[in-house]
Amino acid sequence: MDIKDKVVLVTGASSGIGKATAELFIRKGAKVVLAARSLEEVKELAVKMPNTLAVAVDMTKPQEIQQMVQETQAFYGRIDVLINNAGQELNTSMETIDVENFARLITSDVYGPLVAMQTTIPLMKQQGGGAIVNISSGVFQTARSTLLQAESAKSVLNMISLNTRTEYIDQGVSVSLVYPREPEANFQKPPKRREVTHTKRQTDVHKLDSPEAIAAKIVETIEKGIAVEFL
């Protein structure tokens, strides 16, 4: 897909990977919707970025997700690309999992992207095609005890994404996964890791990537129509 003049909806756009991805799309000539829970934060970003629209969304609330898509459609008349980047972190051991917190994580990281896809795909089919990228995580490639919840949520998102790609690729809608390693922006102290096997992929996943490097892979995934992209 040629990015120029495309309408791109980015969730979690207020910082980190989302912000870097939005900035790169703008440099490539796209029109970008900056979506995040804090409307004030994305409004401030929109002032600095040309061809952008700021929208508030809580990815745990289906009505807000649907409203986000409707606002984008009403403003730009189409949605060419959806980047499901917004998510939550919940790092505890099996014995200390709080079920309510885990349910909120699943709602944000699985149900949120699912609702966004369900709302966006019909519009993409009507307009002749589109692309969706769901941001997974490189930690899925390891068995890291303190990231049990994140791994579980991302594994569900991964299967939904791949199945959706198979279902809609012939209808012009490309669904892809990007597996970034841990971003530098989110990195503090490395927790202890437990690995099932010791492969090159599991070793590489412990390296850090800048949000800008991850953004570049996201854009490349769309431009080339790649199904799964690892960093």
1 within some domain: no
Which residue segment(s) compose the domain that 28 sits in?
7-230
Query: Which secondary structure element, helix H or strand E, spans residue 202, and what is its range?
Result: helix 200-204
120 within some domain: yes
Closest to 186 measured CA to CA, from 211, 155, 212, 154: 211
Contact 45, 25 (CB under 8 A): no
110 within some domain: yes
104 within some domain: yes
87 within some domain: yes
65 within some domain: yes
Mean pLDDT of the chain: 86
Question: pLDDT tens across 63-106, in order?
Answer: 999 999 999 999 999 999 999 998 776 666 677 778 888 888 89
Question: pLDDT tens across 112-137, in order?
Answer: 999 999 999 999 999 999 999 999 98
Concatenated DSSP letters for 66-125? HHHHHHHHHHHS---EEEE---------GGG--HHHHHHHHIIIIIHHHHHHHHHHHHHH
Residue 47 pLDDT grade (very low, low, confident, very high; cuts 50, 70, 90): very high
CATH of the domain at 117: 3.40.50.720
2 within some domain: no
Q: How far apart are the C-alpha atoms of 48 and 61, rounded to whole Å?
A: 28
| pLDDT mean over 40-44 | 96
Number of structural domains, the chain?
1
Contact 3, 76 (CB under 8 A): no
Token readout for 40 is: 């004030």
pTM (global) more than 0.85: yes
Residue 195 pLDDT grade (very low, low, confident, very high; cuts 50, 70, 90): very low
